[in-house]
Structure 1
């Protein structure tokens, strides 16, 4: 249920890149915001229909002489089709990110970051166990504090959702189609890993989340690849018509970001349309899961 929520239109990261007057080039990348799929059973099948997910997060990174701040907002439309491909549920994803950044506590800048268009196939391979493969692309962006290069996104997820559990690992692999932005910022491929371990108690959902990200090595002299590892907690509640998740994460380790990040997340998962059972040919049967609703 891959809310291909994304865009590590790493606002403050690129703010650092623009403000660092170092003689060596600075890498600033990852089209997918690290951690964007934590809390979601991305390897599991979801009910046929159209779903909207809205994820907003506010981050503050302890850099010197002043903190960098960013606000990332991502709208995602997920269409879970009634069709199967090689035995798996076919679904389509379209995202629209709108982000803001305040590097070094300066004036806020706002803009539309890179939209993502993707398709995904999810297979049920056991009782409560599923895997998925995601293939898509990020469109180029003219917003200077966002990534400006188009890229290919692949994701490989596995989820266990039996008895109210959501145990999910979602691996992101990004391939940049250009290695340098118009402003001279170097890009490289990247890899992110989002991890979720939550349990439902009635309408409540509680648990732990973690994520890591890294730029992949290049042979360019002076490379300064970015990386981070963060962990935190999730609290969710399933209302009658929608589900809310709140998350707080904090960096455990970071590389070349200039300081640790604290990020607060708010997510709404809203089903927009579901067909009647007799309207769904070869309907996919899924286990009820509040996080997927």
Structure 2
């Protein structure tokens, strides 16, 4: 089966999505599609340590019964005072947890592979930001998730002027070994795109969101590549130190998932500490 993963933002979708009677078991994107929706992923964090938890519950309309999947993605993000090429150096640790009932079967649950990553985030101009993340999902002995190591990269661009959060975030995964240790599953490389277009009104935030995912071409002729496109809406509220977001998404198109997914999401962003004396990043352009 496919592994659960993700960053602040990433997780298993395959527990719920395996086909029946297939020669080669199907596997969705290893980084849960839609997991970074709502985050201004290109913007550098202020220097400090943050806890970010994204949890979701969804039902896919598989037959004869729907497939249920709950994914929890707790993570810690350390925004260091150090810079690389003018960008903030940040470190990410994520430990996903998932529970799934496939087509009405008994629930299975377990820990996903730990994600360890480094990220550099730049302020390019006053309201335009970009980030690049490089990391790896570590091998796992848990059989209900992917067990092989995965190299993971993320690229984000954010515009945040006038209370807007306009973010495009691409997530790319390279599986270092495509066949599971027991030879029962096949893991393709993947590409996801998470999109956010929200607006703040005082402490409130609201707007449309969308995401897409696809397995990349493989050399395995028996493998049926999976993909999906989902749209939805987000609402958030800034309580001061804690920022909460909730959004709902629904697949408008899918390929080889055997049903469309409807999913509710909830996120909490909690600063554990901030360095109030650390200066903000200067724009890379226009210094």
TM-score by length of 1: 0.91
Following the alignment from structure 1 to structure 2, what is the Cα–Cα distance between the partners of residues 272 and 14?
A: 33
- Structure 2 equivalent of residue 231 of structure 1: 231
Report deviation, 1:114.
1.3
2:12 maps to 1:9: yes
Residues 1:38 and 2:37 are matched in the alignment: yes
Q: Verify: 1:132 aligned to 2:110, yes or no.
A: no
Q: Shift of the alpha carbon at 1:164?
A: 0.6
The worse-fitting range, judged by mean Cα deviation, of 29-38 and 130-139 is 29-38
Write the deviation string for residues 52-95 of structure 1: whole angstroms up to 9, x where unpaired: 01111001000001110010001010001111101111100000
Give the C-alpha shift of residue 285 in structure 1.
4.1
Aligned equivalents of 1:97, 1:286: Cα separation in 2? 34
Residue 120 of structure 1 is matched in structure 2 by: 119
Q: Over the residues paired in the alignment, what is the CA RMSD in angstroms?
A: 1.6
5+ residue gaps, structure 1, are: 288-293
For residue 268 of structure 2, give the secondary structure of its aligned residue in structure 1.
Answer: strand
Unaligned runs of 5+ in 2: 1-5
Show CA shifts across 1:185-237 (max 9, x none). 11111000000000000000000110000000112122201100001000000
Query: Partners in 2 of 1:105 and 1:141 — Cα distance?
Result: 26
SS in 1 for 2:69: strand
Rate the CA distance shift 1:16–1:89 in 2: closer, same or farther, 3 A: closer
Runs of 4+ that moved beyond 3 A: none
Q: How far apart are the structure 2 equivalents of 1:68 and 1:86? A: 46
Which residue number in structure 1 is paired with residue 170 of structure 2? Answer: 171
Alpha-carbon distance between aligned partners in 2 of 1:95 and 1:50, rounded to the nearest angstrom: 14
Q: After TM superposition, give the deviation of residue 155 of structure 1 in Å.
A: 0.7
Q: TM-score, normalised by structure 2?
A: 0.93
Alignment of 1:157 with 2:147, yes or no, is: no
Equivalent residue for 2:270? 270
The equivalent residue for 2:280 is: 284
Q: Secondary structure at the match of 1:126?
A: coil
Deviation at 1:15, TM superposition (A): 4.2
**Residue 48 of structure 1: how far off its partner (Å):** 0.6
Aligned to 2:190: 190
Aligned residues: 277
Matches within 5 A, 1:64-75: 64-75=63-74
Higher helix share: 1
SS in 2 for 1:170: strand
Greater shift in the superposed pair: 119-128 or 242-251: 119-128
Q: Distance in 2 between matches of 1:242 and 1:133?
A: 25
Corresponding position of 1:108 = 107
The structural deviation recorded for 1:159 is 0.1
- Are the counterparts in 2 of residues 42 and 158 from structure 1 also a CA contact under 8 Å? yes
1:253 is matched with 253
Matched-pair contact (CA < 8 Å) for 1:6–1:32: no
- Quote the offset at 1:27 in angstroms: 3.1
Separation in 2, partners of 1:67, 1:224? 20
> SS of the counterpart of 2:96?
strand
Measure the CA separation in 2 of the matches of 1:74 and 1:14: 16
Kindly indicate whether the alpha-carbon contact (under 8 Å) linking 1:42 and 1:159 is maintained by their aligned counterparts in 2: yes
Alpha carbons 1:128, 1:161 under 8 Å: kept: yes
